[in-house]
Amino acid sequence: MANVQIRDLRKSFGPVETIHGVSIDVPDGAFVALVGPSGCGKSTILRLIAGLEEISGGTVSIGGKVINEVEPKHRDIAMVFQNYALYPHMTVAENMGFSMRLLGHSKAERRAAVEKAAEVLGLTEYLDRYPKQLSGGQRQRVAMGRAIVRQPQVFLFDEPLSNLDAQLRVQMRAELKALHARLKVTTLYVTHDQIEAMTMADQIVVMKDGHVIQAGPPLEIYDSPADTFVARFVGSPAMNLLSAELADGGVHIAGRRWCDAPTDRRAVQLGVRPEHLVLDPEGVPLDVDNVDPTGSETMVLGRIAGQQVTLLLRQRVAVSPGDQLTVSADPAHLHLFDPDSGRRLIPGDG
Amino acid sequence: MNRRRRTDLLIDLGLGIFGLLMLTPLIMLVANAFKTPEEMLSWPPTLIPRDPTLDNLTSVLNETPLLSWIGNSLAFALLSTLAIVATSGIAGYIVAKFPFRTINIVFALFLATAIVPFEVYMIPLYFQVKQLGLLNTVPGLLVGYLVMSFGIFLIRQNVLASIPDELIEAARIDGGGEMWIFWHIVLPLLRGPLAALAVLAFFQAWTAFAWPMIVATKRSAYTIEVGLALFQTGYTVDLGRLSAASACVLVPSVLAFVLLRRNFVQGVAATGMKE
């Protein structure tokens, strides 16, 4: 096992630079998720680490050794692909033992390693089947088994769960997490699904347009997003962003003072998570447009002073479109952003 | 229900008659090989010889080097098939999975060769073969039958459709070298289309006529197609012996098709659509 250190990594395709100087630290044994909308460069970073693309600038080190020029097979990594990339003409056992065969291990050694991995993944009875005879979840497990058998220093996952249906995805998420807890192999996990990233990772790296926007533990990112992009991207339903007026040292929306204003600002954007808006007889009016009851909670879509907001209530409420509610929020749960740059403002420090 | 069954029956009947019509010339050919000259010209023609004779067959086998012609054709067709399968497999894979600009140009050139008919460069090629001293030899016949641009195209399309990049990348990470990957991952996955291509290549060489005719100047070096043509001169056609020789020639082609039929149909129809 080893740590992964990425320093000022750049990648250009022809004249177009798609990764603009990215630095990421993955401590030994950590599970780090790279998350971002499609096209943000997260998969490219994984491919650069794997050696499937050539690095245009910066360095990638594994275990303290720069591997920019090292061939993929000598980087001591294993990668799991979105479409599993199982060899269709080989059985499950052959697929899993393939890398050991290439390394020249004996048949008995291979069999032992494959059987051990198959046991961990519950694949023992499928070892003689071909990939096309397996379900999506089983194929995904075989792909992971192939990675485990190698005993690499680093696991790379490229959206491994996105081809599975919702229920299976939740199940595999838990299995992957348990697997990581058991093997403690340094893991980089690419996903566009922020929930996957939040639930599985020790550290999240949020990316956009080839830049790292914010990196940190999941809840830290959730609680203090660095800008409006992260605020909207992490968390579901997304954070409400409202343009607010500043007057008398306070932030005002719909005639209510929500919190103290930063001193030297003329305008701010106020962010509030849907679950932090609460029903309050003293609050501001909210015109209800739509109500989505899910049983355990109720999602209300509406407008405050003409601005779209989402409200997530932990209880059942008798409300229907066209009604009016009154809501407020605890100032401690509010986020302030610069309306131009979108950067986070610490309340009060301007 | 009843009506549908009747339509089905009619369709079956129609297809059956059509199938028989397609077979008739072949049956006639085989039948003619065992007929006497009188019976062959009699009207109405008979499907089963009234008075079967082996004269045609023995005379063909004794008076012409039919067996060595078949041998020449077999050697020519098999080697050509082998070469075409090898060159198409390698070139098709490279053109599909290593799309550098120069390789795209090379691929365009491959395709361009398909536009020029063989007859256009047949004569220059003949002079080259002559200079190389390869007239009347199987290597001489093979010149011009080692690469098939359609084969490269067929394999390229199959690679694009049925071998995802991730498969090759996974193998690279697993530690496979490029040759190893080609041999152990790509080739096994291309078995279907390569078999289809083999059948095509075999029949292309087996039925080649113009090129073997000019390259083979000695009777013993003829391929079977050229040899068969000898039975027809400008004025006469030796029907009995031509039929006997043709019937002999049918055997390997029918055999090859029967053996490879499944691959052939799959490879051409599905071109690599695998689940």
Same domain, B71 and B27: no
Closest residue, chain A, to B178 (C-alpha) = A73
Residue B88 lies in a domain: yes
Contact with chain A for residue B37, Cβ under 8 A: no
pLDDT at B119: 86
Pairing of strands A240-247, A250-253: antiparallel
In a domain, B150, yes or no: yes
- DSSP for residue A298: E
Q: Of the residues B12, B27, B53, which one is the last residue of a structural domain?
A: B53
Distance from CA of A47 to the nearest CA of B (A): 10
Q: Which residue in chain B has the smallest CA separation from A152?
A: B174
Contact between A246 and A257 (Cβ < 8 Å): no
Take residue A4 and report the two structure tokens written for it: 């992964």
Check whether residue B160 and residue B91 sit in a common domain: yes
Query: Is A98's CB within 8 Å of B173's CB?
Result: no
Query: 3-state DSSP call for residue B19?
Result: helix
CB contact under 8 A, B164 and A78: no
State the pLDDT confidence band at B269, using cuts at 50, 70 and 90.
low
Confidence of residue A186 (pLDDT cuts 50, 70, 90): very high
Residue A154: the pLDDT is: 94
Give the pLDDT score at A349. Answer: 41
Same structural domain, B35 and B79: no
Q: pLDDT at position B274, please?
A: 36
Q: Which of helix, strand or coil describes residue A46?
A: helix
Strand runs labelled E in chain A? 4-13, 16-26, 31-35, 57-62, 65-66, 77-80, 154-158, 186-191, 203-208, 211-216, 240-247, 250-253, 256-260, 267-272, 277-293, 298-304, 307-313, 324-329, 334-337, 344-345
Domain boundary among B29, B53, B77: B53
Give the one of A72, A85, A132 whose C-beta lies nearest to B167's C-beta. A85
Which class for A41: exposed (0-12), middle (13-18), buried (19 or more C-beta within 10 A)? buried
Residues A111-121 have pLDDT tens digits of: 999 999 998 88
Q: Give DSSP secondary structure letters for B168-223.
A: HHHHHHHT--HHHHIIIIIHHHTHHHHHHHHHHHHHHHHT--HHHHHH--SGGG--
B59 in a structural domain: no
**Residue of chain A whose Cα is closest to the Cα of B177:** A73
Instruction: Please provide the average confidence, as pLDDT, over all residues in chain A.
Output: 91
Question: Cβ neighbours of residue B71 under 8 Å, at least 6 residues apart?
Answer: none
Cα torsion angle, B126, B131, B136, B138, sign: negative
- Per the CB < 8 Å rule, is A52 touching B180? no
- Whole-structure pTM value: 0.79
Q: Tell me if B87 is assigned to some domain.
A: yes
For residue B235, the 8-state DSSP code is S
pLDDT at A187 over 90: yes
The per-residue pLDDT for range A122-161, each reduced to its tens digit, is: 899 999 999 999 998 899 899 999 999 988 999 999 999 9
Last residue within a domain, chosen from B30, B53, B76: B53
CB contact under 8 A, B166 and A150: no
Cβ neighbors of A228 (< 8 A, separation 6 or more) are A241, A269, A271, A337, A342
Q: What is the mean pLDDT of residues A72-79?
A: 91
Query: Are A89 and B171 in contact (CB < 8 Å)?
Result: no
Model confidence pLDDT, tens digit, residues A210-231: 999 999 999 999 999 999 999 9
Query: How much is the pLDDT for B35?
Result: 86
pLDDT confidence tier of residue A317, bands split at 50, 70 and 90 = confident
Residue B202 structural domain: 64-272
Number of domain units in chain B: 2
Helix (H, G, I), strand (E, B) or coil at B245: helix
* Contact list, B176 vs chain A (CB under 8 Å): 73, 102
Chain A residues with CB-CB distance to B under 8 A? Answer: 50-52, 72-73, 75, 77-79, 81-83, 85, 87-89, 98-99, 102-103, 132, 146, 150
B196-251 pLDDT per residue, tens: 899 899 889 988 999 999 999 888 889 988 888 887 766 667 788 888 888 888 87
> Are the C-beta atoms of residues B222 and B135 closer than 8 Å to each other?
no
**Strand A203-208 with A31-35, pairing:** parallel
Structural domain includes residue B128: yes
Same domain, B45 and B78: no
**Residue of chain B whose Cα is closest to the Cα of A51:** B173
For residue B82, which amino acid is it? L
pLDDT of residue B234: 63
Tell whether the model's pLDDT for residue B275 goes beyond 80.
Answer: no
Chain A residues within an 8 Å CB radius of B185: 87
In this structure, are B191 and B126 located in the same domain?
yes
Q: How confident is the model at residue B263 (pLDDT cuts 50, 70, 90)?
A: low
Do residues B44 and B113 share a domain?
A: no
Burial class (CB in 10 A: 0-12, 13-18, 19+), B50: exposed
Q: Which residue of A has its CA nearest to B185?
A: A87
The percent of residues above 70 in pLDDT, for chain B, comes to 93
Q: Does B51 touch chain A if contact means CB atoms closer than 8 Å?
A: no
Which residues have a Cβ under 8 Å from the Cβ of A126 and sit 6 or more positions away? Answer: A92, A118, A134, A138, A142
Task: Tell me: pLDDT of A105 over 70.
Answer: yes
Query: Do the domain assignments include residue B94?
Result: yes
Q: B7 with B100, same domain?
A: no
* pLDDT confidence of residue A163: 85
Residues B172, A79: C-beta atoms closer than 8 Å: no
The CATH number for B121's domain is 1.10.3720.10
Interface test with A, best of B98, B165, B168, B174 (most A CBs within 10 A): B174
Predicted local distance difference test score (pLDDT) of residue B270: 47
Query: How many residue contacts between A and B have a Cβ separation below 8 Å?
Result: 53
Type of residue numbered B52: P
Q: Are residues B37 and B81 in the same domain?
A: no
Q: Are both B132 and B178 inside the same structural domain? A: yes
- Sorting pLDDT into bands at 50, 70 and 90, what band is B266? low
Q: Which chain A residue lies closest to B181 (C-alpha atoms)? A: A102
Average pLDDT over residues A295-302: 91
With CB atoms and an 8 Å threshold, state whether A85 touches B175: no
| In a shared domain, residues B132 and B236 | yes
* pLDDT at residue B267, rounded to an integer: 56
Alpha-carbon distance B39 to B28, whole Å?
12
pLDDT tens-place string over residues B68-87: 998 999 999 999 999 999 99
Q: What is the average per-residue pLDDT within A64-90? A: 91
B41 lies in the same domain as B84: no
Please state the ipTM of this predicted complex. Answer: 0.81
In whole angstroms, give the CA distance from residue B19 to residue B118. 33
In this structure, are B161 and B265 located in the same domain? yes
DSSP secondary structure letters along B21-60 = HHHHHHHHHHHHTTS-HHHHH-SSPPSS-SS--SHHHHHH
Indicate whether B58 belongs to any domain: no
